Copies of this chain bind each other. A is one copy, B any other.
Amino acid sequence: MKIGQLSKVSGCSIQTIRYYEKEGLLNRPSRSEGNFRLYDEKSLKELEFVKHCRNLDIPLLDIKTLIDLKHRPEESCSSINDLIAKQLDLVNQRIKELNALKSELQIMKKACSSDSTVERCGIMKTLEV
């Protein structure tokens, strides 16, 4: 299949697919007579692996590490473990931060008597200092 088709079945944009290839996350596909990329089922699997990792917010560099590891199946998987643990820490950290944000934004929202003026806006006041 050509790139447009792969884009459709994978849900990744055409540019993103080409970008992943450039970044070394996907194997170079074969090319047609006229230099069009030609993909098969294996390519789709590869792309889905990347996509799944991205859904977990794993950075491209880390995904590259995972792909490299897949090619060394004998190796200890502790680095995979570390990578996931790191990701989990990040996510937990970010959730904490966002919950703090949420509280403050909620307070701000309440502070605004909606059809007041900027001058007397409760929100604007909470932003000062």
Main secondary structure of the interface of A (DSSP, over half): helix
Task: Point out the residues of chain B lying under 8 angstroms from A108, CB to CB.
Answer: 84
Copies of this chain in the oligomer: 2
Tell me, yes or no, whether A9 is within 8 Å of chain B by CB: no
Between A and B, 25 residue pairs with Cβ closer than 8 Å are: A45-B129, A49-B128, A52-B127, A53-B127, A56-B101, A57-B101, A66-B124, A73-B117, A73-B118, A73-B119, A74-B118, A75-B118, A76-B117, A77-B120, A77-B124, A78-B114, A81-B123, A84-B105, A84-B108, A85-B109, A88-B106, A91-B98, A92-B102, A95-B99, A95-B102
Residues of A within 8 A of B (CB): 45, 48-49, 52-53, 55-57, 66, 69-70, 72-78, 80-81, 84-85, 87-88, 91-92, 94-95, 98-99, 101-102, 104-106, 108-109, 112, 114-121, 123-124, 127-129
